[in-house]
Amino acid sequence: MKSFLLLLLLSIALAAPAQTTRADSLINRAQQISKQKNYPAAIAAYQQVVQEPTAKPRYKAVSLYNIACYYSLQRDVPNGLANLRKAIDAGYIDSKQISTDSDLDVLHADQQWPKLLARARQMEEKKLIRRPEDVKLVTTDIDHFWTAYAAAQRDTAQAKAIFRREYFNKASAGLQDYYDLKIKSDVLFTKRILRRPQYYNSIRPTTLTIATEKPKIVAAFRHFQELYPAVRFQNIYFVIGSWVSGGTVSDAGLLIGADQTANGPGVNTSELSLVQRNRCAPVSEMPSLMVHELVHRNQGPQDGTLLSYALSEGMADFVAELVTGHITNARLHPYGNAHEKELWADFQKEMLGTNPDNWMANGNQETPEKPCDLGYYVGYRIVQAYYAKASDKKKALADILNIRDAKAFVAQSGYADALARR
C-alpha cells in the first residue's frame, strides 16, 4: 500500500544496535505489522511512535499519516480525517501524495477534505522552490569529510570517534537524513571508508569540483521546467556515504552520495567490487543524476508491485535523458537491447508481485556478462514507448510523472505489442 511505501523511505533499519533508539525500534515494529494488513494493530503500533518522546518530528508526521490511511481503509472517516489533520499540522504536507493516495479515497466526499488539502498546499507552498536558480547546492559535508578523513588516516584506532566528531556532528540537514536513511552506523561507515584507502585518496580532487557543476545542473532543471511546468525543486546535499547509496530524497532535499559519482582521471577503482566499478560515474554525469533524483520528488506514488517500482526508476532514467541528452544507467542498455524479448518474458512472470530482488538493487547478481538492475531498463523501455506513441509530448510527460495504474499504463504504452512485432 502507498502509505507503507512512504514509510519505507523514512524507516530505520536495525543495522547497528548501539545506534538504535527506542523510536527506531518502534518504527521498525510498526513497519513489520503493516505488512500483515492488520489495520487496528498497525494503528496501535504507529500511535506508539507518535507518543514516543524521542521520535523525530518527521517520523511522528509520517506515522500520523499512516494512521489516517489505516482508519480510512477501514472506512472510519472521522478518525481518518482527524489523523490526517494531525499529520498535516505535524508537517506532513506532501499535497500530491495526499491528493492521489487511494488509501484516502473514502475521505474525499467529506466537506473537511478540500479544507485539509488546501491547508497542506498552503503550508507546502511556503517551502517550495520555484526557480532553478534558487536551488542550493550544499557541499559543506564533503569539506567536513575530508578534514575528518585526514585525521582518521593518521589515527585509525580513533577513526570512528573522529568521523563522529568532525563529520556527523557537523552534519547538514541533508547528511542527517542520509545518515538515518542509508548510513545508520558509525562503525560500519568507518570500516567501509578505511578499507578503500586508494579509492578515497584518489577521489578527493573530483569531489571538490562538484560545486562548479551548478550552472549545468541549473540549466538541466530549467529545461525540465520547460517540459513540465509543475515540477517542484529541492535543494541538493552532497555527502560522502561510503557507497551505501548514490542518491535518495527526503524532506530536506535531494541527497547525493558524492563518492559514487566521483570517477575521472587518476581515480583508482581497484578496491571496488565489480558492480561498484560499473556504477561509479564521473562528475560530468551530475546533471542527469540530479534530474533522475528530482523526478522521484515529482512522480506519483507506487502501488507496491515490482512493475510500479520499475516504472518509477525507468521514468527517472527516461526523463533524465529527455532533459539532458545523457542516458542514465547507460551500462544496462547494451545487454537490455540484445535480450529485450527474453527480459520482458521473465519480467512479466514477476511484475505484479512485490518481490523486486531479481530486478532492482540486486547488486549481488552482477556478472561481467549480465548487469544487475535490469528492472530500470524494462521500466525505461515501457515509458519510452508511451512517450513515443503520444502526439502531445507535454501531456505525455505529465501522464508519465502521474501514473495512477501501472498495469493500465503498460497497456496504453503499446510496449508489449510493439516488442512482439519485432
Asked if residue 272 and residue 141 are part of one domain, the reply reads: yes
- pLDDT given for residue 216 in this prediction: 95
Instruction: Give the pLDDT mean for 326-345.
Output: 95
Asked if residue 143 and residue 253 are part of one domain, the reply reads: yes
The residue assigned the cell 499504463 is: 409
C-alpha–C-alpha distance, residues 350 and 306, integer Å = 7
Q: Is residue 38 part of a domain?
A: yes
C-alpha–C-alpha distance, residues 262 and 267, integer Å = 8
Structural domain boundaries, residue 52: 2-125
pTM > 0.85: no
- pLDDT given for residue 20 in this prediction: 54
Asked if residue 189 and residue 118 are part of one domain, the reply reads: no
- pLDDT given for residue 128 in this prediction: 82
Model pLDDT for residues 108-147, shown as the tens digit of each residue: 999 999 999 999 999 988 888 889 999 999 999 999 999 9
Strand pairing report for 254-257 and 137-138: unpaired
- DSSP one-letter string for 204-257: HHHHTTGGGGHHHHHHHHHHHHHH-TT--B--EEEE--SSS-SEEE-SS-EEEE
Asked if residue 234 and residue 89 are part of one domain, the reply reads: no
Asked if residue 137 and residue 120 are part of one domain, the reply reads: no
Asked if residue 381 and residue 264 are part of one domain, the reply reads: no
Q: In sequence order, what E strands does 18-174 have?
A: 137-138
CATH, residue 48: 1.25.40
- pLDDT given for residue 9 in this prediction: 39
Q: Is residue 237 part of a domain?
A: yes
Asked if residue 107 and residue 85 are part of one domain, the reply reads: yes
Q: Is residue 292 part of a domain?
A: no
Kindly give, in sequence order, each residue whose CB lies less than 8 Å from that of residue 17, ignoring residues fewer than 6 positions away: none
Asked if residue 166 and residue 214 are part of one domain, the reply reads: yes
Q: Is residue 276 part of a domain?
A: yes
- pLDDT given for residue 32 in this prediction: 82
Percentage with pLDDT > 70 across the chain: 95
Q: Is residue 291 part of a domain?
A: no
- pLDDT given for residue 35 in this prediction: 77
Q: Which of the four pLDDT bands, split at 50, 70 and 90, describes residue 14? A: very low
Q: Is residue 178 part of a domain?
A: yes
Asked if residue 406 and residue 319 are part of one domain, the reply reads: yes
Query: Which residue blocks in 90-185 are alpha helix, DSSP H?
Result: 95-100, 112-125, 140-154, 159-166, 173-178
Asked if residue 138 and residue 119 are part of one domain, the reply reads: no
- Phi/psi region, residue 282 (left: phi>0; alpha: psi -120 to 50; beta: rest), is beta
Contact predicate 182/241, CB 8 Å: yes
Q: Is residue 355 part of a domain?
A: yes
C-alpha–C-alpha distance, residues 363 and 368, integer Å = 12
- pLDDT given for residue 328 in this prediction: 87
From the CB of residue 166, how many other CB atoms can be counted at a distance below 10 Å? Answer: 18
Number of domains in the chain: 3
Asked if residue 89 and residue 19 are part of one domain, the reply reads: yes
Asked if residue 178 and residue 120 are part of one domain, the reply reads: no
